[in-house]
Structure formats: C-alpha cells, structure tokens
Copies of this chain bind each other. A is one copy, B any other.
C-alpha cells in the first residue's frame, strides 16, 4: 500500500461506548476505503483480533495498538485518567501527543476524553477553553451547538471562544461564508438573561464575528443561526432533550399506528418519507461531536454509537484534517487578539 493512501492517521478508542469493540471495528472497516488515512484501533488486542474473525477481510489501512485497561462510562473522569495510564483513552490520546496520530475518536466516557485531551494535548494557540460542538439537523440544514458539555461552569470569555471556533468549522466544513452566531437565552431582548449571559452578549457584540444576538430554544431547530452558543450545562441538556423528544415522538407515533390496521397500511405507504425523515434526524449520520480548541482533532461519539456513527465520526475527523480546521481556528483567534490589542 502506497504512502499516498496514508495521508493521516486516526486513532480510534475501540473500547468506548455501549457496543465496543464491535461497532468501532465495523465502523472502521466501512470507512477504510473512503479515507486516505491509517485507522488505528486502540484497545484489548485479543478482543479486537477475535472480533476481526467475524469479518471476511480486514483492510490494510487498519492497525491495532494494544491497551490493557478500559475507563468505564461512569468513572470519575480526572481520577480515572490519572489512575488508568494504560486505558484505551489515554493511549489513543497519547498517540496524537507523540505525533503517531493526527486525530482521536472515542465513544467512551466523555469527561475522560475531555480531561485526557486537555491534559496531554493542551489548548490551541489563543484558545482558553475547548468546547464540544455538535451539529444538529434543522429545517435549513445542520447548525452547530457549542458547548454540549466540556465545561459546565464557563466564563463569558469562553463563550466567545466557542463562537469563534464553531464559526470556523461552519465556514470551512459546511461552507457557510459568514456564519451567524446566536447566544442561547430566555428571550431575544438584550435586557434578558443572567449577568453571565449579559457579559457574554457584550463580548460577542464587540468581537469580529457575525453576531445575531440572543436566540431562544425554539430558534435552534428553525435554523435561525449557523452557530448557537451556550454554557456546557445548558448545551448538554439541550442535546439530550432534543434526542428525548424525537425518540418519544417516534415511539408515540408507532403506538398510535399499531392501534388501527388502516393506519398501519398508511404507515407502510408513507414509509419512504419516515425513513428519509429518520435519516435527517439521525445523530449517527452526523458522526458525533467535535471537541474544538485542543491541539489535535478529537471526535466524541455518542455512547450508543452504531457502526455507521463510527464510520461518520471517521469521516468528520478526516474532513477536519483535510480542511485544516485547527489552523484556521488559530488564525481566527489571532485576528481577534489583534483587534483587542489595536
């Protein structure tokens, strides 16, 4: 295999999430032919190799790096990172630190991934705090929500960091020329919100961004802005509430349908629309969340990720590398600083 096919190296925590390592391996196999990258599965070598036997052929650009420990989903992040030095998360992140990989993907303990990357890779030049960015489906295409939970008690300056970073992502990945930024608040009026939000509002108004002012919860899915900024507590709740509503609606609809044969026939006929809608709303399609602002590309996938979600996480990591997202963030941050100094 020529070096041309190995433009990047992407480390995948093979032990993270509810369905590890099966979905990580399946996802990597699905992605292998689609990216010019080496895919490094990090985890229990024996388990991974035994899972390999279920597949006809393992592509040449998939490698394995052994990790003897696993950080479980509910372990306290900082502690477990310190104690389990041989965990798949630690080893995968350190592959990036030691320049053996360009990106890391994990569907494991989100807090542990944030801790490990912050500790071992550090922030990008000019960034004070990394933030978790998720893209959400809306009537006008995907929008970015940041922070979905990296920092539940940030300072107003951090929200400006988030706005700039997610703006860069939307510009270079989703090709929105001048991404609009909304601050999530309880009302549109400038006088609304906590002191924290009012301070963030002022900073954003003064920054060199396309600031649209305050937006409300219902504006997110209307696609009113390209980027929605909030603290990590609120963002985490928003993400999980959205999943919860969509899921509950789906189940309720199914329940209703099964209550009448005519309705069931109708459901079969309109199945195409339902499947297509499901795809639009499917977080797996979007491949997970990006931890923006660290010195390396880091994708945090949902704990319940499917193989497709892992495949898409690999695509998102690859696109971020191909489009130099981090370099653009550094440049944008330095522009903002020059203005602050000027």
Contacts and interface: CB of A to CB of B under 8 A. Distances in A.
B191 A76 contact: yes
B244 A217 contact: yes
A222 interface: yes
Chain A interface, DSSP helix/strand/loop, else mixed: helix
Counting contact residues on chain A (CB < 8 A from B), the size range is 35 or more
A262 B267 CA distance: 11
A259 interface: yes
A257 B237 contact: no
A50 interface: no
A217 B233 contact: no
17 contacts: A74-B189, A76-B189, A186-B233, A217-B237, A218-B247, A220-B244, A222-B244, A222-B248, A234-B234, A241-B245, A252-B281, A253-B273, A262-B269, A262-B270, A262-B272, A263-B272, A266-B268
Interface of A: 74, 76, 138-139, 149, 152-153, 184, 186, 188-189, 191, 193-195, 197, 216-222, 230, 232-234, 236-249, 251-253, 256-257, 259-260, 262-274, 276-277, 280-281
Given A245-B245, A265-B270, 19 more contacts: A74-B189, A76-B191, A186-B232, A186-B236, A216-B237, A217-B239, A219-B244, A221-B247, A234-B237, A238-B238, A241-B245, A246-B249, A262-B272, A263-B270, A266-B267, A266-B269, A266-B271, A267-B273, A269-B269
